[in-house]
Amino acid sequence: MNNIPDSQGDESAYQDASYYGTIDSSLADADADYSAADIEQRSPLREQDRFLPIANVSKIMKRAIPSNGKVAKDAKECVQECVSEFISFITSEAAERCQNEKRKTINGEDLLWAMNALGFENYVEPLKTFLVKYRDVSSC
């Protein structure tokens, strides 16, 4: 069974607190603030530092397929690279906004603004809903 809520408006999965318990602990601090200056001043990254860990990507992919399904190594690597590039794309836009506004910290609202500005507006409202509910469950 797929544990991830679909984009068809399946709110029941969001209401299930056990769903939030499946979020990997390494993602728990995803709402942390990051300095735009820190992002700009970093030295060039090694390839392994540019991408999310393949184990995390694999774990998320496996949740989205039937329990007897398998994911090929090249598929995992492709998704790993795409997701990492997507994160960089959104973060760069948010960092530019912060720099233009003379702020040093990128926050969640900056990321949502960047997603909207870059044409990912269909994801903004579901992410706002998810973030509110995730914060509610996390504060318990």
**Report for 21-25, 97-101, 133-137: range of highest mean pLDDT:** 97-101
Q: What kind and span of H or E run contains 96?
A: helix 73-100
Q: Is the pLDDT of residue 1 over 70?
A: no
Q: Is the pLDDT of residue 33 over 60?
A: no
Helices assigned H by DSSP within 1-120: 12-15, 17-21, 36-41, 47-50, 54-63, 73-100, 108-117
Q: pLDDT tens digits, residue range 14-30?
A: 334 443 343 444 344 44
Q: pLDDT tens digits, residue range 47-68?
A: 667 899 999 999 999 999 999 9
Query: Does the domain made of 30-138 have the CATH classification 3.40.30.10?
Result: no
Q: State the average pLDDT over residues 9-18.
A: 40
Cβ(35)–Cβ(26) below 8 Å: no
Q: How confident is the model at residue 35 (pLDDT cuts 50, 70, 90)?
A: low
Query: Cα(16)–Cα(3) distance, rounded to whole angstroms?
Result: 10
